[in-house]
């Protein structure tokens, strides 16, 4: 760890010392304190104690601290002023050390340390003014000119209306992070020694409401105010972590696992799998949005996600075929069909969109991968002749299955970096105003194009996973044309040990191999959901030649 004294001994500190000599010789002539005497009527929060140190040359510096105003002011005038008056304000480190040693014998913390911080700030401010330079220049210049900010909900009732507070922050300031302390009430009741299940639920309530409304679009910070002993704190961290940290990918994971469990039960009839399947299906149904779709973390706010929804519909289909007895399953499937037809399908494009707002026709463009997902889901749910499916298959005629070339692995890694940069510039463009907005938007557009150029050179196995199944479900020439291209590519690009690489999003060989293996299941149809919907009973392959593949 790099301590203050290590820094003082460093070359950087020597440079600061040389800079300080450029300031004229001075003496501290006066010290003033100021605070709002009536905290109930202070026009800002918190009620700072302001400290002003004035030199004999008329240059002054200002520092601040909080929140025991009379105590801090009294301490400055009775114990600190005598140690500062007539001293050279440029000797910041010597003054800091003298005050620290004086206070250290009294108490390591409290009002003394807060006063020390205020004096230190004021001396740096005074030195910067004497040199006509901002303090950050004295400390080595800009290191991180842009930092993320969050809102601390001081004076705001986040237990009652966390969503309204967050919406106001986003709309008015563009702030996308919020800090709350929802476990404090439980901590005070129990003296920080334990927390009950009811206390956990009480604390998680505003967290869940925020996640339901905003999904992964915001960050939630939890403040515990040093109220808890370690065991109780670890219980809360585990509970909150499940709700906060894992929510973005929770719906993906849960949908995929439910799909696997349902298929496993259908094939083995192991009763332990049936019990797990029934519980998992109920969780999916409870997480379905009123309009029929799904979002990150099963949130029910103002966003649906077709990619997340696709895994839930596959899981529901698998559970249905496995004999799930949930009485709400058919209704959930029916709502899903309506969602796919009315909200995820962009009629003007003839395909399905990735994400948009529930309860309205889509406003974003259709994509190849999501058109594969939407088309397949409708087929699996029994609507293979629906107009949306026919349009989706037409859209998918432009799909190409072609593995990337040698440069692709490096391109996939570069895409992650370029995509992050593009997102940053897009956010800056969104916030820009006036004449600067057009330039910012053009810069963001160029960055996105650079990222997409690298993205296009990865193997689109996620899209191919859906497209392969959708075309297989259609059969005939649609499947035959795709099969000729698809089979050659997978066989030619499999490594000697059996794995595949270069899938999108730099997910690595495990992800890419998993998607390829799932695609190849269409040849054997062991898994119930890979069977054509219009076929009656499940038929297992009797040989490995059910589907011939010409790779010459």
Of 116, 138, 160, which residue constitutes the final position of a domain? 138
- Assess contact for 292 and 336: CB atoms under 8 A: yes
Asked if residue 88 is part of any domain, the answer here is yes
Q: Name the band, by pLDDT with cuts 50, 70 and 90, for residue 24.
A: confident
Of 219, 245, 271, which residue constitutes the final position of a domain? 245
Q: How far is CA 112 from the centre of its chain?
A: 40
124: left (phi over 0), alpha (psi -120 to 50) or beta: alpha
Q: Taking each helix axis as running N to C, give the angle between helix 435-455 and helix 408-431, from 0 to 180 degrees, rounded to the nearest 10.
A: 160
| H helices, E strands: number in the chain | 22, 10
DSSP label of 548: -
Give per-residue pLDDT as tens, 156-178: 899 999 999 999 998 888 898 99
Can you give the residue range of the structural domain that contains 392?
249-398
Same-domain status, 281 and 333:
yes
Same-domain status, 241 and 364:
no
Asked if residue 415 is part of any domain, the answer here is yes
Same-domain status, 471 and 507:
yes
Count of structural domains, the chain: 5
Cβ neighbours of residue 319 under 8 Å, at least 6 residues apart? 258, 262, 277, 281, 326, 329
Greatest extent of the chain over all pairs of C-alpha atoms, in Å: 98
Give per-residue pLDDT as tens, 329-342: 999 999 999 999 99
Which pLDDT value is given to residue 21? 67
Residue 510, token pair as written in the block = 């495990």
Same-domain status, 362 and 298:
yes
- How far is the C-alpha of 427 from the C-alpha of 146, rounded, in Å? 12
Which pLDDT value is given to residue 57? 93
Same-domain status, 94 and 184:
no
- How far is the C-alpha of 92 from the C-alpha of 428, rounded, in Å? 38
DSSP label of 521: G
Collapsed DSSP state (helix, strand, coil) of residue 36: coil
Using the predicted structure, report yes or no on whether residue 537 has a pLDDT greater than 90: no
Q: Name the band, by pLDDT with cuts 50, 70 and 90, for residue 86.
A: very high
Residue 338, token pair as written in the block = 């309506």
- For the entire predicted model, the pTM comes to 0.51
Using the predicted structure, report yes or no on whether residue 356 has a pLDDT greater than 50: yes
Residue 212, token pair as written in the block = 């339901």
Same-domain status, 496 and 514:
yes
Same-domain status, 470 and 442:
no
What's phi and psi for 8, nearest 5 deg? -60, -35
Domain CATH number, residue 85: 3.30.390.10
- How far is the C-alpha of 350 from the C-alpha of 345, rounded, in Å? 7
Asked if residue 143 is part of any domain, the answer here is no
Exposed, middle or buried, 130 (CB in 10 Å: 0-12/13-18/19+)?
Answer: buried
Give per-residue pLDDT as tens, 29-53: 999 999 887 767 777 767 789 999 9
Domain CATH number, residue 266: 1.50.10.10
Task: Give the helix ranges, DSSP H, for 192-346.
Answer: 197-214, 230-244, 247-268, 271-286, 306-322, 329-342
Same-domain status, 446 and 463:
no
Of 245, 273, 294, which residue constitutes the final position of a domain? 245
Asked if residue 144 is part of any domain, the answer here is no
Same-domain status, 389 and 361:
yes
Q: How far is CA 255 from the centre of its chain?
A: 19
């Amino acid at each position: 760890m790099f301590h203050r004294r290590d820094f003082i001994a460093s070359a950087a500190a020597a440079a600061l010392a040389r800079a300080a000599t450029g300031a004229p010789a001075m003496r501290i002539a006066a010290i003033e304190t100021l605070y709002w005497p009536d905290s109930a009527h202070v026009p800002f929060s918190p009620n700072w104690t302001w400290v002003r140190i004035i030199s004999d040359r008329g240059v002054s510096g200002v520092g601040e601290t909080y929140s025991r105003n009379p105590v801090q002011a009294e301490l400055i005038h009775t114990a600190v002023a005598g140690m500062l008056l007539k001293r050279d304000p440029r000797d910041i480190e010597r003054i800091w050390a003298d005050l620290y040693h004086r206070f250290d014998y009294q108490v390591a913390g409290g009002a003394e340390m807060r006063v020390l911080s205020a004096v230190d700030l004021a001396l740096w401010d005074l030195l910067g003014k004497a040199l006509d330079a901002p303090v950050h220049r004295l400390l080595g210049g800009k290191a991180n000119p842009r930092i993320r900010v969050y809102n601390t909900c001081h004076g705001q009732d986040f237990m009652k209306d966390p969503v309204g507070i967050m919406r106001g922050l986003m709309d008015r300031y563009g702030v996308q992070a919020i800090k709350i302390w929802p476990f404090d009430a439980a901590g005070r009741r129990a003296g920080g020694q334990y927390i009950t299940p009811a206390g956990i639920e009480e604390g998680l309530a505003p967290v869940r409401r925020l996640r339901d409304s905003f999904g992964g679009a915001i960050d939630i910070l939890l403040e515990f105010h040093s109220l808890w002993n370690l065991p109780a704190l670890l219980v809360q961290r585990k509970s909150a972590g499940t709700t906060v940290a894992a929510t973005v990918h929770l719906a993906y994971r849960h949908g995929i696992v439910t799909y696997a469990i349902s298929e496993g039960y259908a094939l083995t009839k192991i009763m332990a799998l049936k019990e797990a399947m029934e519980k998992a299906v109920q969780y999916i149904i409870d997480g379905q949005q009123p309009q029929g779709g799904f979002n990150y973390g099963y949130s029910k706010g103002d966003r649906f996600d077709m990619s997340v929804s696709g895994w839930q519909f596959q899981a529901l289909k698998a559970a249905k075929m496995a004999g799930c007895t949930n009485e709400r399953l058919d209704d959930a499937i029916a709502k899903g069909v309506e969602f796919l037809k009315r909200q995820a399908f962009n009629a003007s494009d003839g395909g399905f969109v990735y994400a948009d707002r529930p309860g309205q026709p889509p406003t974003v463009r259709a994509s190849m991968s999501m058109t594969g997902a939407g088309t397949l889901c409708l087929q699996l749910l029994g609507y293979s002749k629906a107009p949306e499916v026919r349009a989706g298959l037409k859209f998918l005629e432009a799909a190409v299955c072609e593995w990337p070339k040698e440069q692709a692995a490096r391109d996939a890694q570069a895409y992650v970096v370029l995509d992050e940069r593009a997102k940053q510039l897009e956010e800056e463009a969104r916030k820009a105003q006036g004449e600067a907005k057009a330039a910012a938007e053009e810069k963001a557009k160029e960055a996105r194009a650079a990222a997409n150029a690298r993205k296009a050179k990865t193997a689109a196995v996620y899209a191919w996973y859906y497209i392969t199944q959708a075309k297989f479900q259609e059969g005939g020439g649609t499947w035959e044309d795709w099969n000729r291209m698809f089979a050659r590519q997978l066989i030619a690009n499999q490594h000697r040990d059996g794995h595949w690489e270069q899938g999108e999003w730099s997910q690595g060989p495990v992800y890419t191999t998993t998607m390829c293996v799932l695609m190849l299941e269409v040849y054997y149809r062991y898994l119930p959901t890979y069977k054509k919907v219009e076929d009656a009973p499940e038929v297992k392959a009797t040989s490995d030649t059910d589907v011939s593949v010409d790779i010459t």
